[in-house]
Structure 1
Amino acid sequence: MDGSFSSALNDPRSLERAASALRCLPFRRAFYGLLSGEAISSEELHRRDDQAQLSFVRLTSDRAENHFIWLIRVGVLRREVDGQGLTERVRLTPMGRELLSRWSGEIPRAALLERIRHGLRRRWPRL
């Protein structure tokens, strides 16, 4: 799917909310690059020896899963499906790929005010 078609399907507010999540969450670009080629679960992420290259902070599997759920809600990730239904593993969505194409290098980290707003939006989505 080309970027223009994908952009037409995603409204600007959804894209901006998802971009903010990418800037505010602790995952590095290498994490999303990994997900563009394979699916991974929060437990697998927690056990990886190279977690420091994938995240700015060490994550427990529960904390990573909470971030995965939020990224699913904003449209960046999706659950992988196997023959028996949804799995605990996640993959990058077309929206996630489109957002990552905005940055050539590492995803810029959000300023403190944006992180506070993001945290409030995440906990109280109606604000």
Structure 2
Amino acid sequence: MAIATSRSSMRYPQRTLDRAERAVRCAPFRLSLYQTMIIRSVDLAEISGRSGVDHGYVRKPMTELLVEAELLWLIQVGLLRREVDGQGLTNSFRVTPLGRQLVDKWHNLGKVELSATFRDRLYNAVSRWLRLPF
């Protein structure tokens, strides 16, 4: 899948980039989900249940509640945004410029899967629990 790179990338503090990368590595989603979210918005129903596995977005089926909780954390970190239509928020999500930067970086490095270390998982869990930008 070809990923279009943005011409004028925003500059983010290193702490922001580190936290965002850690959050993505710890998330249960596969890189293909983020690549798809660059091209189009992805509905919650496409990610949850058996559909998420069939689309290659997750390794094992997840409930809508769990998927939404993970997506909301990635919104707080700044990687994703929720789509809005004429009547308000929808159940669809897209990547932000920060998310695009990271996906482009991993795509250019030839990454297919992302893995988290124990330290990544610990820092991410503490960050989520305290809601502090570690």
**TM above 0.5, one fold?**
yes
Residue in 1 aligned with 2:86?
Answer: 83
Seq. identity, %: 33
Per the normalisation by structure 2, the TM-score is 0.81
The CA deviation at 1:47 is 4.6
Residue in 1 aligned with 2:23?
Answer: 21
Structure 2: tracts of 5 or more residues without a match: 1-5
Coordinate RMSD, CA, aligned: 1.9
Per the normalisation by structure 1, the TM-score is 0.85
Structure 1: tracts of 5 or more residues without a match: none
What does residue range 98-113 of structure 1 map to in structure 2 within 5 Å?
98-103=101-106, 104-113=110-119
Letter in 2 for 1:65: E
Residue in 1 aligned with 2:125?
Answer: 119
- Mean Cα displacement is larger for which, 49-58 or 69-78? 49-58
The CA deviation at 1:125 is 2.2
**Deviation beyond 6 Å, 4+ runs, structure 1:** none
The answer to whether residue 78 in structure 2 is matched with residue 72 in structure 1 is no
What does residue range 50-69 of structure 1 map to in structure 2 within 5 Å?
51=53, 53-69=56-72
Distance 2:52 2:77 in 1: 26
Q: Number of paired residues?
A: 124
Distance 1:87 1:113 in 2: 34
